[in-house]
Amino acid sequence: MNRQLKIWAGILAALVALYFLNSRSQSKLVGKLTPVFTGDADSVQKITIFRLDDGIEIVKNAESQWDISGNDTLVVKADQMQKFTDQVLGLEREAAVSINPDRYATYSVDDSAGTHLVLMGYNDVELGRYVFGRSQASWNKNYIRVGDDPAVYQTSQSVLHLVTTNVNSWGETPKQEIPEVEGSSDSTFVLPHSH
């Protein structure tokens, strides 16, 4: 029985050692998140988004307000810009899923399928250039190429709905304030009778 106990103790020790080795190697494989945009969000002066023949450019004006280039009837939605700043400029990426440029179409980050985002700063200095692609496997993540890096990464969350060329997603008709008529505190309207 003593010999059998030693064998079982040896097997148990081997299993414990294998467990710890496996846990250690698995922890090295856990994806570390890396920020996609490493600059200062306040330094972004121009946002250009394009896909194929469609595009939009959003520029910070002299009053530090955002304008849609070529559109003087809409103003940029404050909540859309805040979401863009928080979620897109705060986006993180996981480990690379491919470093093969021949696979760009598979991840929808090639020139024809990808959505391009270019961020410019003061004096037209490029702060970042990205190509986003929709993940077919995971609806809550996207694929991304960053600058000249040939690698394709998976993002920590889906942001393609915020990186859109749709002008109506970015802009809204300015709200017009109706001035109050002096001496009138009653806000009811009386319609004249038609005969």
Whether the pLDDT of residue 189 is over 70: the answer is: no
Report the alpha-carbon distance of residue 84 to residue 26 in Å, rounded: 34
What mean pLDDT comes out for the span 139-167? 96
The predicted pLDDT at position 175 comes to 82
Residues 44 and 104 in one domain: yes
Whether the pLDDT of residue 29 is over 50: the answer is: no
Is position 178 within any domain? no
Whether the pLDDT of residue 67 is over 50: the answer is: yes
Whether the pLDDT of residue 31 is over 80: the answer is: no
Residues 127 and 81 in one domain: yes
Least confident of 14-23, 36-45, 111-120, 165-174: 14-23
pLDDT confidence bin for 6, thresholds 50/70/90: confident
Least confident of 26-40, 77-91, 151-165: 26-40
Residues 20 and 114 in one domain: no
Is position 185 within any domain? no
- CB pairs under 8 A, 24+ apart, for 124-129? 124/46, 127/37, 127/39, 127/43, 127/44, 128/36, 128/37, 128/39
Whether the pLDDT of residue 188 is over 90: the answer is: no
The predicted pLDDT at position 184 comes to 55
The predicted pLDDT at position 66 comes to 96
Whether the pLDDT of residue 194 is over 60: the answer is: no
CA dihedral 150, 124, 113, 171 (to 10 degrees): 140
Is position 188 within any domain? no
Give the count of domains, the chain: 2
Is position 181 within any domain? no
Is position 59 within any domain? yes
Report how far apart, in Å, the C-alpha atoms of 145 and of each of 93, 150, 161, 165, 183 are: 10, 7, 17, 18, 62
Residues 16 and 75 in one domain: no
Residues 62 and 150 in one domain: yes
Residues 124 and 39 in one domain: yes
Residues 148 and 52 in one domain: yes
Residues 118 and 84 in one domain: yes
Q: What is the pTM of this model?
A: 0.75
Residues 9 and 76 in one domain: no
Tally the residues of the chain.
195
Is position 187 within any domain? no
Domain boundaries, position 95? 34-172
Mean pLDDT of the chain, nearest integer: 88
Residues 20 and 95 in one domain: no
